[in-house]
Amino acid sequence: MKDLFDETQINGMELKNRFIKAATWENMADEKGHLTEQLTSVYDEVSKGGVGLIITGYAFVTEDEQPNPGMMGIYEDSFIDEYRELTDMVHNNGSKIVMQIVYGGTKTTFKTEDRVILGPSAVKNSKTGVMAKKMTKEDINDLVKAYGKAAERCKKAGFDGVQIHAAHTYLLNQFLSPYHNRRTDEYGGTIENRARILFEIHNEIRDRVGEDYPVLLKVTAGDFEEGGQSFAESLDVCKAMAKKGIDAIEVSGNIHSTAQEYFGEDWYGYTVKEGAFFKDYATKVAAEVNVPIILVGGLREFEVIENLLQETEIEYFSMCRPLMAEPNLINRWQEGDRSKSKCKSCGECYTEEGNICILNR
């Protein structure tokens, strides 16, 4: 019988339990993406709190493309030594740490007047209203290489792996989406073509870090809007990436921050749930894809998570705001206090001064 506190492995990365700190935009790095004392203290606290794995907030892979303020960077070698101090600290506290790497595209409102915003096609983002400049094949090749170099830096800095962010309407999700991707070349049309850039990034990363270094993927269960990426297409991408050697897939959705508005609604034949937003979708992926699946979104109760572990093929459970509210939550659960997370999903943790739960200000 599986247990939430089982010791497991993801491509040799040994984890002390099945709980993961989901990637969180902390808004605490400096203007160039370097660590600050405030940000380092966040990772210190959560790594002492019992979680098996931390996935960092998204880190931008090219210097001229920062979709939000206060993000971590990984676009040049100057980051390696400072991140080595971070990874050593996390390891000494008993956790593992993976860096999430990203290119934002039009999912941004940050300094858009000062930079060129690239996208698969010249399409305005339906949420931000930002217009993309269509990427050339040279742009695509340059970005593929940037992801590979970023992953190589992560390995040198002591991160236990990397996660490719292809969800939440950032650039790689835009390539997967028919709404954003209207190309007619080998990067557009069929889902296989729309996923080509993701396949190339994975290959480039593998060439630089090797087969025995954990490479994870974050995908959306669907865009949850007309004309967007469907769940069937997401499932096809997961199957293809599993065949190519991805080590674990985290299943989220593009309504992750406003899921309450969708409770009970059916999308693509499955339902957005209260309590574990995307469990229907992750359950389906886990049943059909032969790599470890991570569920994220709306996980607040130990019993709910435990039941999902026993009743589905989902292997890991990722949380964001609950661990902002209670960095020590996993220790508390392991010590026998299984009461619900103190997180109320209020969304008031996001401020200009840094993203901190109102319970901890």
Q: Once rounded to an integer, what is the mean pLDDT over residues 292-301? A: 96
Asked if residue 1 is part of any domain, the answer here is: no
Q: Once rounded to an integer, what is the mean pLDDT over residues 20-46? A: 96
φ/ψ region of 11 (left if φ > 0, alpha if ψ in -120 to 50, else beta) reads left
Q: Amino acid letter at 115?
A: R
pLDDT at 182 over 90: yes
> Which domain CATH number covers 109?
3.20.20.70
Asked if residue 176 is part of any domain, the answer here is: yes
Asked if residue 5 is part of any domain, the answer here is: no
Band of pLDDT at residue 257, cut at 50, 70 and 90: low
Q: Would you state the pLDDT for residue 255?
A: 85
Band of pLDDT at residue 11, cut at 50, 70 and 90: very high
Distances in whole angstroms, Cα of residue 213 to Cα of each of 10, 85, 217, 235, 295: 9, 20, 13, 24, 22
Q: Once rounded to an integer, what is the mean pLDDT over residues 260-271? A: 87
Q: Once rounded to an integer, what is the mean pLDDT over residues 95-101? A: 98
Asked if residue 11 is part of any domain, the answer here is: no
> Is the model more confident about 194 or about 360?
194
State how many domains the chain has: 1
Q: Once rounded to an integer, what is the mean pLDDT over residues 290-317? A: 97
Report the distance separating Cα 294 and Cα 316, nearest Å: 5
Band of pLDDT at residue 353, cut at 50, 70 and 90: confident
pLDDT digits (tens, 9 = 90+) for 129-158: 999 999 999 999 999 999 999 999 999 999
> Is the model more confident about 112 or about 52?
52
Q: Would you state the pLDDT for residue 263?
A: 85
pLDDT at 167 over 80: yes
Q: Would you state the pLDDT for residue 260?
A: 77
Q: How many percent of the chain have pLDDT more than 70?
A: 99
What is the average pLDDT value for the chain, to the nearest integer? 95
Report the distance separating Cα 115 and Cα 147, nearest Å: 20
Asked if residue 207 is part of any domain, the answer here is: yes
Q: Would you state the pLDDT for residue 59?
A: 98
pLDDT at 253 over 80: yes
pLDDT at 190 over 90: yes
Asked if residue 237 is part of any domain, the answer here is: yes
Task: Tell me the residue range of the domain where 348 lies.
Answer: 17-360
Band of pLDDT at residue 174, cut at 50, 70 and 90: very high
Band of pLDDT at residue 46, cut at 50, 70 and 90: very high
- Please, are residues 223 and 261 in contact by the beta-carbon 8 Å criterion? no
Q: Once rounded to an integer, what is the mean pLDDT over residues 313-340? A: 96
pLDDT at 361 over 80: no
Asked if residue 7 is part of any domain, the answer here is: no
**Structure tokens, 86:** 């971070």
pLDDT digits (tens, 9 = 90+) for 273-288: 888 999 999 999 999 9
Asked if residue 6 is part of any domain, the answer here is: no
